[in-house]
Chain A
Amino acid sequence: MKLYIDRRALFGFIVALFIFLWLGYFSYRNNQQFLAAREAIFHTTEVLIHIEQTQNNAVKVEELIAKYIISQDNTYLTLYNHELEKAAEHYNKLVALTADNESQQVKLDSFVVAGTKKLSLHQKIVEAMKNSTRREAADILSSEENMKSTQKVNSILTSIRTEENSLLLNRVAKSKAEMKAFETTFMVLMVTTMLILLAVFVIINNSFRSRLMAEERAHQINSELESFTYSVSHDLRAPLRSIRGFAEVLKEEYGPSMDQESNRLLGIIMRNASRMGQLIDDLLDFSRLGRKQLSYSKIETRGLVTEIIGELTVHDSRNVKWEIQPLEHTVGDLSMIRQVWVNLISNALKYTRNNPEATIQIGNYSHKGNMVYFVKDNGVGFDMKYSDKLFKVFQRLHNNQEFEGTGVGLALVQRIITKHKGKIWAEAEVNQGASFFFYLSNPTI
């Protein structure tokens, strides 16, 4: 795809596009992060609940064992065992939940040590009770060892709780910071994109405006050119007409009484006036062609070529051998394509005229999907090193004494073929003849 857009605008578009892509990815990633943070916060909260429950269990266990000693009721022992089970459950949950946290795992391990010690004390109390030594049981309960054990368990649980609490606070703070950072970045990127698109809009608008101005200018130049060619056709031709006309009058009325040299000089004036007229006409044709619109139609090439040959040779007594192949139809502007054939064939006739056995071949062949037409002659040809001058206006490869002409014919032919989006080229050798090839790119009609 060919791009006509301004380079800066294109760059802006690409940058904006990348920012949009990145924004999408960024939002997605941030959402994932947000969900993960929320999950982590839930997780921490869950850990905290279990710690609290374990702490409750620890207090209750102590209470129940005391109640058991006071009341000697076995129901409290059952409740005590039940409470221990619940504590074990919470403990197991905590181990599982903090599996990734080494420091909490260490603390939980020391909790197990302290708990086991606590439980062994409780075991001694229960045994004392079963042996009906209540006094001993009460002593153990109120012993300094038991108090310390309780404190130990409590302090470990509090430590676990403190750590988890600070973890929770950290995570919440981190999540908030991330959210804030996301919002800021998102806003910055959005504003940047908007600014880029605004700049792109301004650039496109400017380039559009300058194109419109260029178009206007082209229109203006075109109309100036039109009025220029108009005045050329009027004002240059009028004095020429007088020169030629009065020279003619002079020759007709006073020619017989003038000497030979005067008549010769008069002839030069007349010939050059005619040539000047021809030059002006050709130049006008050439410039007019630039403005002309193509009107496409199907062209019956063979009939056209035959007709042109007839017209060009009607006053010609030369013996030219024509080799004309069957010619394919084409599509183009009839009057212009006619001009192409007229110019090519008349050139072939002109440049073979010193050859007593002049042969002109006209044909076509298919090449890469194009129908290539050609006109080949065995005339004077030209040196291929000048081939770049061949199709230029007023450029000639032969002087006017050898072969008359204004140097517009082939320029005109090339211009017509270029207008038909086709191509023309030539092959030649000095005194071996010249071949002209062309094709048109056919529109579908």
Chain B
Amino acid sequence: MMNHQQVEILLIEDNHDDAELAIRALKKRNLANNLLHISDSEEALNYLFKEGNNNYPKLILLDLKMPKIDGIQVLKRIKSDPEKKVIPVVMLTSSKEEKDVIESYNLGVNAYIVKPVQFDKFLDAVDQLGMFWLLLNQPPR
């Protein structure tokens, strides 16, 4: 998609509908220009841990519940890598279950967002994320 460019946001989400909503929300805030969506967690890990790839995303949006390798395991891999552990990771999930929150924070997640059912609330959440992790870190366009 845009591998030759600087990837700003890596979205790891197996549900294409959720991914589309997230991308639309980010686009509305003009944040989806350099976004890469990978729907398979294994593939996402391969991308991140590809040899010679020093082009890390500025933010990873990570879905918690995915087949094969779930979000917690992906988070574990990222946060146990000496170089990649500095990449901010935000968990995106529909779960409010406390043990997920606690487990994610124990693994060093930077933020945790429960995907609200209502799109406008989701937009607010994404808006706050974008403001916090990207807009403050880059010069305004």
Contacts and interface: CB of A to CB of B under 8 A. Distances in A.
Q: Do A and B interact?
A: yes
Interface of A: 230, 233-234, 237-238, 240-242, 244-246, 248-249, 273-274, 277, 284
21 contacts: A233-B94, A233-B95, A233-B97, A234-B93, A234-B94, A234-B95, A237-B117, A238-B17, A241-B17, A241-B18, A241-B115, A241-B119, A244-B117, A244-B118, A245-B17, A245-B122, A246-B21, A248-B118, A248-B120, A273-B117, A274-B117
A230 B95 contact: yes
Nearest to B117: A277
Q: Is the interface of A mostly helix, strand, loop or mixed?
A: helix
Nearest to B22: A245
Interface of B: 15, 17-18, 21, 24, 65, 93-97, 115-120, 122
Contacts of A244: 117-119
A23 B79 CA distance: 76
A230 to B, nearest CB: 6
Contacts of A240: 117
Nearest to A237: B94
A234 B67 CA distance: 13
A234 B114 CA distance: 10
A350 B118 CA distance: 23
A46 B97 CA distance: 97
Contact of B94 (A241, A248, A249, A273): A241
Contacts of A234: 65, 93-95
A242 B94 contact: no
Contacts of A248: 118-120
B18 A242 contact: yes
Contacts of A241: 17-18, 21, 94, 115-117, 119, 122
B24 A249 contact: yes
A244 B123 CA distance: 13
A277 B121 CA distance: 13
B94 to A, nearest CB: 4
- 4 smallest CB-CB distances across A and B, nearest first, come from A277-B117, A248-B119, A242-B17, A245-B119
B125 to A, nearest CB: 12
Contacts of B15: 238, 242
A319 to B, nearest CB: 30
A274 B116 CA distance: 10
Contacts of A277: 117-118
B96 A246 contact: no
A129 B21 CA distance: 157
B97 to A, nearest CB: 6
A242 B19 CA distance: 10
A238 B94 contact: yes
A245 B22 CA distance: 10
B18 to A, nearest CB: 7
A234 to B, nearest CB: 5
Nearest to A239: B17
A153 to B, nearest CB: 113
A33 to B, nearest CB: 75
A287 to B, nearest CB: 11
Given A248-B120, A249-B119, A242 B95 contact: no
Nearest to B21: A245
Contacts of A284: 96
A352 to B, nearest CB: 27
Contacts of B119: 241, 244-245, 248-249
A417 B93 CA distance: 32
